[in-house]
Structure 1
Amino acid sequence: MRILFVADPLSGFKIYKDSTYAMMREAHARGHQVLACIADDLRLKEGVVEAKAQWIGFTETQVGHDWYHIEQESYIALRDVDAVVMRKDPPFDQQYLYATQLFSLAETQGAKVFNRGQALRDFNEKLAIFQFAEYIAPTMVSQNMADIRAFVSEHGDVIVKPLDGMGGAGIFRITNADANLGSILEMLSHNGERLVMAQKYLPAIKDGDKRILLIDGVPVDWCLARIPQNGETRGNLAAGGAGVARPLTAKDREIAEKLGPQLAAQGLLLVGLDVIGENLTEVNVTSPTCFQEIAAQSGINVAGLFIDALERKCC
Structure 2
Amino acid sequence: MPLLFVADPLEGFKTHKDTSFAMMREAARRGHALLACEARDLHWQRGGRVTARARAITLTGRAGAGVTDWFQAAPAAPVELATLDAVLMRSDPPFDSEYFYATHLLEQAEREGARVFNRPRALRDHPEKLAILEFPQWIGPTLVTRSADDIRAFHAEHRDIILKPLDGMGGMGIFRVGPDGLNLGSITETLNRDGAQTVMVQRYLPEIVQGDKRILLIAGRPVPFALARIPQGSEIRGNMAVGGKGVAQPLSVRDREIAEHLGPVLAARGLLLVGLDVIGDCVTEINVTSPTGFQEITQQTGHDVARDWMDALAAALAG
Question: Where on the TM-score scale, by shorter chain, does this alignment land: which range?
Answer: over 0.9
Q: Distance in 1 between matches of 2:256 and 2:19?
A: 22
- Find the counterpart in structure 1 of residue 99 from structure 2: 96
- Find the counterpart in structure 1 of residue 32 from structure 2: 32
User: 1:176 Cα deviation (Å)?
Assistant: 4.7
- Map 1:49-128 to 2 at 5 A: 49-63=50-64, 64-128=67-131
Question: Residue type matched to 2:73 in 1?
Answer: I
SS at 1:128 equivalent: helix
Q: Is the 8 A contact 1:206 1:227 kept in 2?
A: yes
Q: Distance in 2 between matches of 1:175 and 1:190?
A: 21
Q: Deviations over 1:100-148 (max 9, x none)?
A: 0011111110000000110000001011001111011011010001100
SS at 2:295 equivalent: helix
Q: Distance in 1 between matches of 2:296 and 2:287?
A: 17
Q: Distance in 1 between matches of 2:261 and 2:217?
A: 11
Is 1:207 aligned to 2:210, yes or no?
Answer: yes
Q: Distance in 2 between matches of 1:92 and 1:23?
A: 22
User: 1:313 Cα deviation (Å)?
Assistant: 1.3
- Find the counterpart in structure 1 of residue 11 from structure 2: 11
SS at 1:211 equivalent: strand
Question: Residue type matched to 1:49 in 2?
Answer: V
Q: Distance in 2 between matches of 1:255 and 1:47?
A: 44
- Find the counterpart in structure 2 of residue 254 from structure 1: 257
My pick for the range that moved more, 56-65 or 201-210, is 56-65
TM-score of the pair, normalised by structure 1: 0.98
Q: Deviations over 1:123-174 (max 9, x none)?
A: 0101100111101101101000110011011100000100010000000001
- Find the counterpart in structure 2 of residue 23 from structure 1: 23
TM-score of the pair, normalised by structure 2: 0.97
Question: Residue type matched to 1:196 in 2?
Answer: V
Question: Residue type matched to 1:79 in 2?
Answer: A
Unaligned runs of 5+ in 1: none
SS at 2:134 equivalent: helix
Question: Residue type matched to 2:14 in 1?
Answer: K
Equivalent of 1:234 in 231, 234, 237: 237
My pick for the range that moved more, 57-66 or 18-27, is 57-66
Q: Distance in 1 between matches of 2:48 and 2:201?
A: 43
- Find the counterpart in structure 2 of residue 44 from structure 1: 44
- Map 1:147-296 to 2 at 5 A: 147-296=150-299
Equivalenced residues, count: 315
Is 1:310 aligned to 2:313, yes or no?
Answer: yes
Question: Residue type matched to 1:37 in 2?
Answer: C
Q: Distance in 1 between matches of 2:192 and 2:48?
A: 39
User: 1:47 Cα deviation (Å)?
Assistant: 3.5
SS at 1:48 equivalent: coil
Q: Distance in 2 between matches of 1:62 and 1:163?
A: 33
User: 1:262 Cα deviation (Å)?
Assistant: 0.4
SS at 1:213 equivalent: strand
Q: Distance in 1 between matches of 2:74 and 2:199?
A: 45
My pick for the range that moved more, 285-294 or 170-179, is 170-179
User: 1:32 Cα deviation (Å)?
Assistant: 0.6
Question: Residue type matched to 1:253 in 2?
Answer: R
Unaligned runs of 5+ in 2: none
Q: Is the 8 A contact 1:224 1:290 kept in 2?
A: yes
Q: Is the 8 A contact 1:149 1:176 kept in 2?
A: no
Question: Residue type matched to 2:3 in 1?
Answer: I
The 4+ residue runs of structure 1 with deviation greater than 4 A are: none
Q: Deviations over 1:165-212 (max 9, x none)?
A: 000000000135233111110011111111100000001001000000
